[in-house]
């Protein structure tokens, strides 16, 4: 195995470990704020095909594709994979394809996380406007529709999809539940529960939604405090995980003769795998530290 192949394998494994560490930290932050997914009875909604699953996955990341567009992108991706396999061979090509797919998946996940955060930041202001209009006599649906066009992206796209579902005959709380399942935003599910309870049992909708807005504000403050408390741990994780890889890469590029004996000898390769194991073990330890917060 050549030095470049060992280097690519090491980078691919470290990218996977870093991605898992990052996603675990985001998941634990949401869990600490009460956002550990949706309730079991609303976790999944039926879908007709695998194509809809993929389209929903892309839509959660802000990528709007039709069925024909998805087939075109899938075809181009398949051609690219075949080209990489033909150019670099089965072993190295497969590693490059795997690494590329992991990077694409991590990129989509980070983009979806960013969009979810922006929607959470924009939702309290939207709900305050709805509560004000309900206070002057408007119904929930009228207040909802009036304010959809006034909110910025990406919340406007999510609310527009809910309005379209309402036009197609779905109840408002059902449309909110569908959007919560699509975007993995538990605030929509809480809002759907509040609307459903008001429709079934009655009560002051203004007071219910006012309490919901206050809950959103408290969650936002808690999220900022948690991010500040875990900021040092995240920075430490990035530095400790990236420094050995950056140092090894610099040495390999600036003075490859210095590392060639280690990469070509059995003892040196064993030492490299030990170092990789220690690196992954350090990432796992930091992951456990983040989970304990």
Characterize 53-77 residue by residue with b for buried, 16 or more Cβ atoms within 10 angstroms of its Cβ, and e for exposed: eebeebbbbbeeeeeeebeeeeeee
Residue 258 has what pLDDT?
78
Q: Is the dihedral of CA 122, 128, 131, 135 positive or negative?
A: negative
| Per-residue model confidence as pLDDT tens digits over 162-171 | 999 999 999 9
When pLDDT is cut at 50, 70 and 90, the band that residue 7 belongs to is low
Q: What is the mean pLDDT of the chain?
A: 79
Mean pLDDT in residue range 169-195:
91
Cα separations in angstroms, 153 against 57, 62, 176, 216: 18, 10, 17, 19
Mean pLDDT in residue range 233-250:
80
**pLDDT surpasses 80 at 227:** no
Structure tokens at 129: 């406007």
Residue 35 has what pLDDT?
46
When pLDDT is cut at 50, 70 and 90, the band that residue 46 belongs to is very low
Residue 38 has what pLDDT?
41
Taking alpha carbons only, the member of 25, 2, 47 closest to residue 238 is 25
Residue 178 has what pLDDT?
92
Residue 291 has what pLDDT?
63
Structure tokens at 42: 């609303």
What is d(CA 183, CA 152) in angstroms, rounded to the nearest whole number? Answer: 17
Lowest mean pLDDT across 13-27, 84-98, 122-136, 220-234: 13-27
Q: Which residues contact 12 (CB under 8 A, 6 or more apart)?
A: 95, 98, 99, 102
Taking alpha carbons only, the member of 54, 67, 61 closest to residue 110 is 61
Report helix, strand or coil for 139: coil
**pLDDT surpasses 80 at 36:** no
Residue 40 has what pLDDT?
40
| Per-residue model confidence as pLDDT tens digits over 80-89 | 888 887 887 7
For 37-53, what is the HEC assignment?
CCCHHHCCCCCCCHHHH
E strands present in the chain: none
Mean pLDDT in residue range 100-118:
88
């Amino acid at each position: 195995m050549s030095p470049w192949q060992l280097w690519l394998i090491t980078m691919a494994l470290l990218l996977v470990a870093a991605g898992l560490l990052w996603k675990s930290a985001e998941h634990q932050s949401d869990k600490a704020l009460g956002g550990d997914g949706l309730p079991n009875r609303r976790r999944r909604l039926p879908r007709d095909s695998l194509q809809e699953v993929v389209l929903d996955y892309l839509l959660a990341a802000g990528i709007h594709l039709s069925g024909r567009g998805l087939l075109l992108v899938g075809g181009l991706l398949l051609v690219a994979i075949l080209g990489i396999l033909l150019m670099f061979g089965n072993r190295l090509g497969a590693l490059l394809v795997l690494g590329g797919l992991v990077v694409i998946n991590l990129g989509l996940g980070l983009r979806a996380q960013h969009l979810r955060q922006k929607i959470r930041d924009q939702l309290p202001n939207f709900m305050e406007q709805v509560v004000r209009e309900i206070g002057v006599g408007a119904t929930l649906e009228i207040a909802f529709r009036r304010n959809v066009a006034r909110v910025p992206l990406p919340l406007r796209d999510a609310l527009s999809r809910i309005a379209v579902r309402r036009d197609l005959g779905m109840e408002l709380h059902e449309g909110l539940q569908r959007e919560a399942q699509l975007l993995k935003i538990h605030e929509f599910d809480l809002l759907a529960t509040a609307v459903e309870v008001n429709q079934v049992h009655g009560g002051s909708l203004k007071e219910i939604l006012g309490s919901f807005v206050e809950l959103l504000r408290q969650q936002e403050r808690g999220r900022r405090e948690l991010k500040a408390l875990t900021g040092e741990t995240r920075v430490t994780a990035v530095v400790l995980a990236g420094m050995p890889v950056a140092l090894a890469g610099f040495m390999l590029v600036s003075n490859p003769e210095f590392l060639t004996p280690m990469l070509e000898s059995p003892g040196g390769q064993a030492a490299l795998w030990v170092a990789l194991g220690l690196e992954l073990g350090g990432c796992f330890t930091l992951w456990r530290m983040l989970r304990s917060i």
